[in-house]
């Protein structure tokens, strides 16, 4: 089961490494004809439910066309992906980043199905289902009958997702990391990328926790190459793109 094994870890309170992960794809099923493929992976590392600042982000050439309905969701075009590596080229780097960590995913069955399809086509072992903690199932259990999408959970917990005009794997994984800590009652007082790992485990927080302003801004995590790639992708969306309208 997606959730029971994952909650076992949480209830035992074990210290562990977790990877909050999201993918973007060309469609809904990797076993359609032609097969749908992963086009972007984003991931955020947590240690003992505290973000470390370590992330993984990769665009991937899908070796097929980009259906219009998929482009409407994430805005990633065939032209933008034309020079990006194939999954075969990045598989080992991706597997090295996630290691044996618990995988925190919203609607985990979707992403795991795609990841395992890509791995199987390369003859690599599948990621076991029990490694995945599904935040969608946790949200539905905590708030039965209420919307449980990532946007709905951001509204519930007061998490700023104003930059989420289109789906993007790294941004969605960063937002999901905040949602995950709210859902599970993680060490919220210490939440923050690059936070000091030294903590008082007896500290309690009264009332809803929200991130406090930083004393100093974090250094940019985007490389110049990534910034240029993003600019090129936005340019392909045309003058009407929401990103182009921001001051």
Q: Which residues are catalytic, by number?
A: 167
CA 102, 105, 107, 110 torsion: positive or negative?
Answer: negative
Q: State the pairing for strand pair 50-59/38-47.
A: antiparallel
């Amino acid at each position: 089961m997606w959730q029971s094994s994952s909650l076992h870890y949480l209830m035992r309170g074990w210290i562990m490494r977790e990877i909050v992960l999201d993918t973007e794809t060309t469609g809904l099923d990797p076993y359609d004809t032609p097969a749908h493929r992963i086009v972007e992976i984003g991931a955020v590392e947590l240690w003992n439910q505290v973000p470390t600042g370590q992330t993984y982000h990769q665009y991937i050439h899908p070796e097929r066309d980009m259906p219009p309905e998929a482009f409407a969701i994430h805005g990633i075009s065939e032209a933008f992906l034309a020079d990006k590596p194939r999954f075969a080229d990045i598989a080992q780097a991706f597997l090295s980043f996630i290691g044996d960590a618990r995988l925190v995913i919203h609607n985990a069955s979707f992403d795991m199905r795609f990841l395992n399809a890509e791995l199987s086509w390369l003859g690599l072992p599948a990621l076991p289902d029990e490694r995945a903690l599904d935040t969608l199932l946790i949200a539905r259990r905590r708030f039965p009958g209420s919307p449980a999408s990532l946007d709905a959970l951001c509204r519930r917990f007061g998490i700023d997702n104003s930059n989420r005009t289109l789906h993007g794997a790294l941004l969605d994984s960063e937002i999901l990391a905040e949602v995950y800590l709210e859902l599970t009652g993680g060490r919220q007082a210490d939440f923050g990328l690059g936070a000091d790992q030294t903590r008082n485990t007896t500290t309690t927080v009264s009332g809803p926790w929200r991130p406090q302003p930083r004393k100093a801004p974090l250094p940019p995590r985007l490389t110049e190459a990534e910034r240029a790639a993003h600019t090129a992708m936005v340019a392909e969306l045309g003058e009407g793109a929401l990103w182009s309208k921001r001051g």
